[in-house]
Structures are given as structure tokens and as C-alpha cells.
Structure 1
Amino acid sequence: MASLVVTYGTPENPEAFDAYYREKHIPLAKTIPGLRRYEISRGPVMTPAGPAKAHLIAILRFDDLAAIQNAFASAEGQAAAADLQVFATGGADMLIFDTEDV
């Protein structure tokens, strides 16, 4: 299994971000080929010391790293990546990695 974690910074308008993300971006991202699971944070993102700088975290799961690379080479993956420019006014960081159960 491999994961893509997207950390969204605090947007200019959190309410508009949340509405767009749920109504437009999630349905678009769910068309990405090879996507096995899509999770998002619910409520405030915290650290042990208090509030985090992140507004929302998304975790997308794929079979392996090659599946993530193929996903973002697809038209659907490119459309989802380009969509970030529309709503992610607080920025977005992406991390891609293999996972293992321990």
C-alpha cells in the first residue's frame, strides 16, 4: 500500500474552502484511477501542544508508488492537481510514501 498525504494550510476563507472541497474537489479526486481509499480530517487539526497550522489533511491510498505516479499522469489526476490552484489559497503540501503494517 502507498499513501498520498495532502496538508492544506489555512485558507483565506475557510467556509468557502470547505464547501468547494466537499462539493467540487472530492468528487473530482475520486475519479483518479487506482484510488483505493480517500480519508480527510474532521474538525480542527491539532498537535499535542495545540492547534496546527493545517486546516485539513487528506490521505489517499493506492496499491503502490507506481499507482500514484500513474494516477497523476492520468487526465483525472492532472485535473485534480490543477484544481488546487482554484481553492487552496493557504497552500498545499503533498507527501507520497510506501507504507507497511508493523
Structure 2
Amino acid sequence: MHKLVVLYPQPADPDAFIDYYVSTHLPLAAKLPRLQAWRYTTDVQPEPDGSAPAYFAVFEAEFASAADFRAAMASPEGRAVAADVPNYASGGATIIDYPVSEGSAS
């Protein structure tokens, strides 16, 4: 499995971010070819010491492989998703993608 994680810092207008993200951006992302699963939150909890969290929102997507992820992002749908980010993410975004190694609980 290959995972994409997008971390969003605090936006200038949190309500506008959520409205646009949920109504416009996530439907675009859901159309990515070869996408197996996705999830998100705009409810990142405070740090254990009570201080503000480092990020406002998190998006996770799963693909079967790095090649599938790269193909999805190179597709017209992927280009549309990438081009849409400046429309709502006033604080930018940190993008991380990586292969997942399996583990097990003790």
C-alpha cells in the first residue's frame, strides 16, 4: 500500500476553509483514479500540554502502489486537485507520500 497524507496549518478563515474543503475540494479528490480509500479531519486536537495543534486539518488517501499514486496525480483529476489547493488553503499544505510497511499488535 502507498499512502498520501496532506497536513494543513491553521488557515486565515477556518470556517471558509471547511466550507470549501468539504463542498468542493473533497469531491474533486474522491474522483482520483486508482484511489482505494480516503479520510480526513478538520478536528485536530490540542497538544497533550493543551497548546494549539500544529495542524488544522489532515487528509489521508490510500493507493495500491506508488505507481498508482503517481498516475492518479498525473491524471486530469489529479492536476485539478493540485490546482485547487490555493483556493482554500491560505496557509499552504505539507504533502507526504510513502509506502506502508505492515506491523502487528503485541
Q: TM-score range by the shorter chain?
A: over 0.9
Tell me the number of residue pairs that the alignment of Structure 1 and Structure 2 aligns: 102
- The alpha-carbon deviation at position 42 of structure 1 amounts to 4.8
User: Is 2:27 the counterpart of 1:20?
Assistant: no
Matched with 1:79 is 80
TM-score, normalised by the number of residues in structure 1:
0.93
TM-score, normalised by the number of residues in structure 2:
0.90
Question: Percent of aligned positions with the same letter in both sequences?
Answer: 33
Quick one: structure 1 residues 46 and 65, their matched pair in 2 at CA, closer, same or farther if it must change by over 3 Å? farther
Quick one: structure 1 residues 55 and 42, their matched pair in 2 at CA, closer, same or farther if it must change by over 3 Å? closer
Matched with 1:11 is 11
Structure 1 window deviating more from structure 2 (60-69 vs 37-46): it is: 37-46
Matched with 1:94 is 95
Gaps of 5+ in 1: none
* Preserved CA contact (<8 Å) 2:42 2:56: no
CA distance in 1, matches of 2:101, 2:47: 24
Give the SS at the match of 1:47: coil
Pair member with larger Rg: 2
CA distance in 1, matches of 2:29, 2:38: 9
Matched with 1:39 is 39
Letter aligned with residue 17 of structure 1: F
Choose between structure 1 and 2: higher strand proportion.
Answer: 1
Runs of 4+ in 1 over 2 A off after TM superposition: 44-51
Letter aligned with residue 32 of structure 1: L
CA RMSD after TM alignment = 1.2
Matched with 2:68 is 67
Give the SS at the match of 1:54: coil
